[in-house]
Amino acid sequence: MHVALLVNPTARSGTGIPAARRAEDRLRGHGIHTTTLAAASAAESSRLLHAVLDEGVDAVLAAGGDGTVNLAIQQLAGRPVPLGVIPIGTGNDLATALGLRDLDAEGAADAVIAGVTRTIDLARVTRADGSITRYGTVLAAGFDSRVNDRANRMRWPRGHARYTIALLVEFATLHGVPFVVELELADGGVERIDRELIMATVGNGRTYGGGIPICPDADLEDGLLDVTLVRPAGRLHLLRLLPRVYKGTHTTVDEVSTYRVRSVRIEAPGVTAYADGDPLGALPLQVDVEPRALTVFAPA
């Protein structure tokens, strides 16, 4: 067996390399050959991973957060090569959805050694220029994407608290934006929404921002995407909504609408979308589900 270790050297202030080495020691102790890929940029990481996949590896183990996992997703979508995760990033939302969040490097290696896999859905995003990318967790557009952008620029604190602080800062300038949302519903029907929204999210997974269940009913294996839309209301009213968002009970609030869809097109002026914690690009974007597109290791 040959495993490629994809490492984000900057994850958690440089813990990526030591974590990868511990996983490498565990794998080699079981007779598994490893190749470590630790690049200085996302583009270089993608090129290195693409090259080793073409040469032939049996599995990929990503040491980092959702961004590092997303790099692997772009290369592994549609391939039979399974993905494992050493969750050492800020959010780790896909690792949480897969039941891998609490694994250390040795535990992640043990999952690879055990060899138990499952297949999950991905979301495929098509930009206005025709380029395509995929994500595993949640696409955010509007207020929540501005929160994500601010959190990415912050140096302190780390982890979930960073998103909470960024959210409170952005809340001070909260405003509605004219959106057009075109939905292909799970039952085959279509619906068009043309109105001001605070935000629009498209979930393949349940959470973003390090565990916020914005799409609480999303299922990685149901062949559908979950859309959550939030309409404008007074700041005080929306502030009272925030605790419900963190508990995943916000979907019954009047200003919130949810949909199960096979695809959705989102358009809004001046809005940049984020997914798996990284910017995807400006709206409009088309999002489609890709059922059973990624093979992943289950916890040992």
Active-site positions read 278
End-to-end CA distance of the chain: 17
Q: Give, for 108, the enclosing helix (H) or strand (E).
A: helix 105-114
- Do residues 115 and 38 lie in contact, with contact meaning Cβ atoms separated by under 8 Å? no
| Alpha-carbon distances, residue 32 vs 21, 24, 164 (angstroms) | 14, 9, 41
* DSSP β-bridge partners for residue 139: 202, 275
CA dihedral 222, 140, 125, 285 (to 10 degrees): 130
Find all residues with CB under 8 Å of 115, minimum gap 6, and list them.
Answer: 297
Find all residues with CB under 8 Å of 63, minimum gap 6, and list them.
Answer: 5, 6, 7, 8, 11, 16, 19, 20, 23, 86, 88, 105, 108
Q: Round to whole Å and give the CA distance between 81 and 128.
A: 30
